[in-house]
Amino acid sequence: MSGTLAIIGGTGLTELPGLTIMKAHDEQTPFGAPSAPVLEGEMYGQRVLFIARHGHPHRIPPHLVNYRANLWALQKLYATDILAVNAVGGISRNMKAGTLVIPQQIIDYTFGREGTIYDGDYAPVSHIDFSYPYSDSMRELIARGASTAGEKVINGGVYGVTQGPRLETAAEIFRMENDGCDIVGMTGMPEASLARELKLNYASLSLVVNPAAGKSSGAITIRQIDENLSTGIVRVRKIIDAMVKDFYA
186 is in an annotated binding site: yes
221 is in an annotated binding site: no
Residue 170 backbone zone (phi > 0: left; psi -120 to 50: alpha; other: beta): alpha
86 is in an annotated binding site: no
110 is in an annotated binding site: no
In which element (H, E) is residue 238 found?
A: helix 222-247
14 is in an annotated binding site: no
Residues facing 86 on adjacent strands? 206
228 is in an annotated binding site: no
Beta strands 154-155 and 100-102 are parallel
211 is in an annotated binding site: yes
In which element (H, E) is residue 229 found?
A: helix 222-247
Determine the residue type at 115.
G
Q: Are 241 and 176 in contact (CB under 8 A)?
A: no
Burial class of residue 59 in the structure, from the number of CB atoms within 10 Å of its CB (0-12 exposed, 13-18 middle, 19+ buried): exposed
DSSP-derived letter for residue 168 is P
29 is in an annotated binding site: no
Residues facing 161 on adjacent strands? 108, 185
Instruction: Give the annotated binding-site residues.
Output: 11, 53-54, 186-187, 210-212
| Binding annotation for phosphate | 11, 53-54, 187
Query: What residues form the annotated binding site for substrate?
Result: 186, 210-212
